[in-house]
Amino acid sequence: MLNSIMESLTFTRARSVDPADTAAATSAYIDMRGYEGQIACTITNGIIGAGGSVVYTFLTATNDQGSGEAALTPIGGALATANEANEPLCQTAVFDATQCKGYIKVVGTVTTDSGPTTYVFSGLKKYAT
């Protein structure tokens, strides 16, 4: 059963970076139109230096340029702040597809030395493409 579910998911890598600032830790808007049920964003942090951290928030918009931009809160609440005490860290934010205006992006607010970060979105599309 799990194999059938996993094979039907669509995965989109949004960003892989070693960010030094918030601009570098923020993804582009990812097109999530056509997804149903729940959408997940898995965030993986590598080794974070002393005093470094990154806080993740999410935005949704009606297009990839950010029109109608609004905050998007994961179903389970805000993610943990990634820092030296909990590295390496892998966590997933889950959203109901109906919360999404069509596009989602991750905003990573960075303090110094936040370490390598990867964002991967996954979900089930309504129709095969």
Which residues touch 110 (CB under 8 Å, ≥6 apart)?
Answer: 19, 20, 21, 22, 24, 25, 52, 53, 54
Count of structural domains within the chain: 1
pLDDT at 58 over 70: yes
d(C-alpha 64, C-alpha 104), whole Å: 8
Confidence of residue 120 (pLDDT cuts 50, 70, 90): very high
pTM of the model: 0.86
Which range marks the domain in which residue 12 is found? 2-125
CATH number at residue 58: 2.60.120.20
